[in-house]
Amino acid sequence: MSRRSRSTIGRLPLVLLLPALLGLAFLLIPLVGLLAKAPWSTLPSRLFSTDVWDALRLSLLCATAATAMCMVLGIPLAWLLARAPIPGRGVIRALVTVPLVLPPVVGGVALLLVLGRRGLVGQHLDAWFGISLPFTTAGVIVAEAFVAMPFLVISVEGALRAADPRYEEAAATLGAGRWLTFRRVTLPSIAPGVVAGAVLCWARALGEFGATITFAGNFPGRTTTMPLAVYLALETDPDVAVVLSLVLLIVSVVVLASLRERWISGLR
């Protein structure tokens, strides 16, 4: 077995092998650089400074709230795309994935135009309920949810398509209505897809920068999440930027490890 795989590698064309190794190095060396440049001696004191701690706490809170929002809205949307006989489903699916490819800054601008104090919806929110989203923590959550929701929808829709709808029929013959069937049969059967989607969604929300800074601004303790803090720190105290980046790197690696290959099957 091992001899055969060694001989296979030996026969790999150099023209593929060389760029492949370069690509790998290109992806990994910046991360190694981050580790090499870390101010290890002063790391603990910097790590537990209130600025870092506030940013981390805010980031975790907002990413989690955004993920919850995405699940409440995104799972039913995925169900609609996968199961409901609606016309123009392909177009709707394409629209849902727009935030995936849209530059996040553009998303932030769009959110400002709609939810800003004079925006299409924002003016009514302000007038009727006294709610103003821009430049608040709630605004951070909205911005992150906007950018991250497609990850959840795509993953859950894939899981729904792979699930056998005949189990839902079996539930119906046992007397379960649509909602009960969804809760007790459909949702448990797609749980791995939902978990994978939620983790991806959460990771995307955690790293969100462009839409957040555009829509929610940069107010320490209120809207300054980790990525924003990294960007700020880079101009004032690069060592802090490195520490913050390390923390985000560790969180990312932990997320990746917890998913292993699962997210791939969740997306398919």
Among 33, 94, 169, 237, indicate the residue that binds another protein (CB under 8 A). Answer: 169
Positions 175 through 204 that interact with another protein (CB under 8 A): 175-177, 180, 184-185, 188-189, 191
User: Which DSSP category does 184 fall into?
Assistant: I
* Residue whose CB is less far from another protein, 76 or 188: 188
Minimum Å distance from CB 162 to another protein? 14
State the binding string over 247-266 for another protein (x if CB under 8 A, else -).
Answer: --------------------
Asked if 170 touches another protein (CB under 8 A), the answer is: yes
Member of 11, 118, 166, 260 binding another protein (CB under 8 A): 166
Rounded Cα distance, 11 and 75, in Å: 47
Distances from the Cα of 35 to the Cα of 23, 30, 38, 242, angstroms = 19, 9, 5, 8
Near another protein in 85-124, by CB under 8 A: none
194 within 8 A of 156, measured Cβ to Cβ: yes
Q: Which residue has the tokens 């800003």?
A: 116
Binding segment (CB under 8 A) for another protein, from list 19-27, 140-148, 174-182, 255-263: 174-182
Q: Closest CB to another protein among 88 and 175?
A: 175
The answer to whether residues 249 and 197 touch, using CB atoms and an 8 Å cutoff, is no
Tokens for 64, please give them.
Answer: 């989690």
Amino acid at 9: I
Asked if 66 and 141 count as a contact pair (C-beta separation under 8 A), the reply is yes
Site membership for another protein, residue 231 (CB under 8 A): no
Kindly state the tokens that stand for 93.
């699916």
Contacting residues toward another protein, per CB under 8 A: 164, 166-167, 169-177, 180, 184-185, 188-189, 191
